[in-house]
């Protein structure tokens, strides 16, 4: 694969390469090289934090004391109040219906990742596009589990605990008349795994769809399918990998695995932001895919090497339009800024993207 590298990127990748790092290698926690143990993230106030992704055992022991499942919050948005959420509570039927929940509508659960909360772009942009840019009416349930996501410690257990709380809420709305088929959980990073745990734990049927937006790698390096998001957690599981091998899982783990620009460094993102730009690109692409005429045609490939001769266009689209006939490994080409969707008018332009 040919990558366009800036000179500083070559220096850094060369330095990383000296430690024997390749993105495809599945590493145990102990063998993650030094430079891949830290990342920069924007917190919910927009400030940048440098974060240790692989804390030691003592930190993990201490953090265990701070887990309280009742602190996972649920907030409902509908077309009637697209800007204002109403907090809703499990098993409070009256509150649910007074907030405007309609069991006949499709329901989207939106689950943020590390250092994010209800007001983060992942929740707000996807919610706004569903409610303001489509003709369909949805129940949008934003899951705020920011209490759990302030330290990158015990993230696997926290994702599972949050996922179980989300599953309980899904069973609650199914009991209120919603159907499991119409439930779609969309999660970014750690939130992708929380959706996986939720789907796996729902008692009243199997939910229709999970979309994993760059499912987190740190903390899940050696996880088995039951310990992370996988293709069995919903009827259909589609994933968008944008920082594979560093902040996101590189391997295909879903029913459909989309790899924009081969799934690692994204165009328009710089090496010095420690992956957070590429990691966040997954939710920007998904949000855009909800918009009319913003299509992401994708090539079905035999493997994740993405050689053109092993890939072909079968009509697949990445993001919201993906459906359960779209299965396998896909290569997608995007622009380096909004609109990320390529503006194509014919198949020759599409083939020229490779
Ligand atoms: Ca799973």
CA dihedral for 69, 115, 36, 193, sign (positive or negative): positive
Q: Where are the alpha helices (DSSP H) in 99-139?
A: 121-132
CA of 162 to the centre of ligand 1 (A): 14
**Which candidate in 159, 189, 289, 298 is catalytic?**
189
CA of 225 to the centre of ligand 1 (A): 5
pTM, 2 dp: 0.90
The secondary structure of residue 244, as a DSSP letter, is: B
Q: How many domains does the chain have?
A: 1
| pLDDT tier at 64, thresholds 50, 70, 90 | low
- Residue 233 inside a domain? The answer is yes
Check pLDDT > 80 for residue 347: no
Pairing of strands 328-332, 256-260: parallel
Mean pLDDT of 57-67: 71
**Structural domain containing residue 210:** 7-352
Alpha carbon separation from 241 to 55, 87, 186, 188, 214 (Å, rounded):
24, 31, 14, 10, 5
Mean pLDDT of 242-246: 94
Mean pLDDT of 127-134: 96
- Residue 334 inside a domain? The answer is yes
* 44 a catalytic residue: no
- Residue 82 inside a domain? The answer is yes
- Residue 269 inside a domain? The answer is yes
Pairing of strands 297-301, 328-332: antiparallel
* 120 a catalytic residue: no
- Residue 236 inside a domain? The answer is yes
Whole-number Å distance between alpha carbons of 132 and 82: 8
CA of 350 to the centre of ligand 1 (A): 34
Query: Which residues lie at CB < 5 A from ion ligand 1?
Result: 196, 200, 230, 233
Check pLDDT > 60 for residue 21: no
**Which candidate in 144, 156, 182, 214 is catalytic?**
214
- Residue 160 inside a domain? The answer is yes
* 279 a catalytic residue: yes
CA of 179 to the centre of ligand 1 (A): 21
Residue percentage of the chain with pLDDT more than 70: 90
Indicate which CATH number applies to the domain containing 125: 3.40.50.1820
CA of 196 to the centre of ligand 1 (A): 5
Q: What is the mean pLDDT of the chain?
A: 88
CA of 52 to the centre of ligand 1 (A): 25
- Residue 250 inside a domain? The answer is yes
Question: Which pLDDT tens digit goes with each residue over 27-41?
Answer: 566 677 777 888 888
- Residue 1 inside a domain? The answer is no
CA of 198 to the centre of ligand 1 (A): 9
Pairing of strands 236-240, 209-213: parallel
């Amino acid at each position: 694969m040919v990558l366009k590298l800036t000179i500083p990127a070559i220096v850094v990748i060369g330095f990383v390469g000296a430690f024997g790092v390749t993105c495809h290698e599945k590493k145990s926690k102990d063998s993650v090289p030094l430079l891949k143990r830290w990342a920069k993230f924007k917190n919910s106030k927009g400030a940048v934090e440098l974060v240790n992704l692989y804390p030691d055992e003592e930190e993990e022991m201490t953090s265990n004391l701070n887990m309280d499942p009742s602190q996972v919050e649920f907030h409902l948005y509908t077309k009637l109040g697209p800007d204002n959420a109403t907090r809703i509570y499990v098993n409070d039927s009256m509150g649910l219906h007074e907030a405007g929940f309609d069991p006949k509508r499709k329901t989207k659960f939106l689950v943020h990742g590390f250092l994010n909360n209800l007001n983060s772009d992942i929740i707000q942009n996807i919610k706004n596009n569903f409610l303001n840019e489509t003709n369909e009416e949805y129940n949008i349930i934003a899951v705020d589990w920011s209490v759990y996501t302030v330290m990158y410690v015990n993230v696997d257990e926290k994702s599972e605990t949050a996922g179980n709380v989300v599953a309980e809420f899904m069973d609650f709305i199914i009991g209120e008349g919603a159907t499991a088929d119409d439930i779609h959980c969309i999660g970014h990073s750690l939130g992708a795994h929380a959706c996986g745990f939720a789907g796996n734990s729902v008692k009243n049927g199997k939910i229709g769809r999970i979309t994993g937006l760059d499912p987190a790698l740190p903390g899940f390096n050696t996880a088995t399918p039951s310990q992370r998001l996988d293709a069995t957690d919903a009827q259909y599981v589609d994933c968008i990998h944008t920082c594979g091998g560093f902040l996101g899982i590189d391997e295909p783990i879903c029913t459909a695995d989309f790899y924009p620009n081969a799934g690692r460094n994204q165009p328009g993102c710089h090496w010095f932001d420690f992956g957070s730009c590429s990691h966040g690109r997954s939710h920007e692409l998904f949000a855009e895919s909800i918009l009319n005429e913003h299509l992401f045609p994708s090539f079905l490939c035999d493997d994740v090497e993405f050689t053109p001769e092993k890939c072909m266009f079968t009509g697949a689209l990445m993001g919201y339009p993906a459906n359960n006939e779209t299965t396998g490994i896909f290569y997608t080409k995007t622009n380096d800024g909004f609109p990320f969707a390529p503006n194509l008018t014919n198949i020759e332009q599409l083939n020229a993207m490779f």
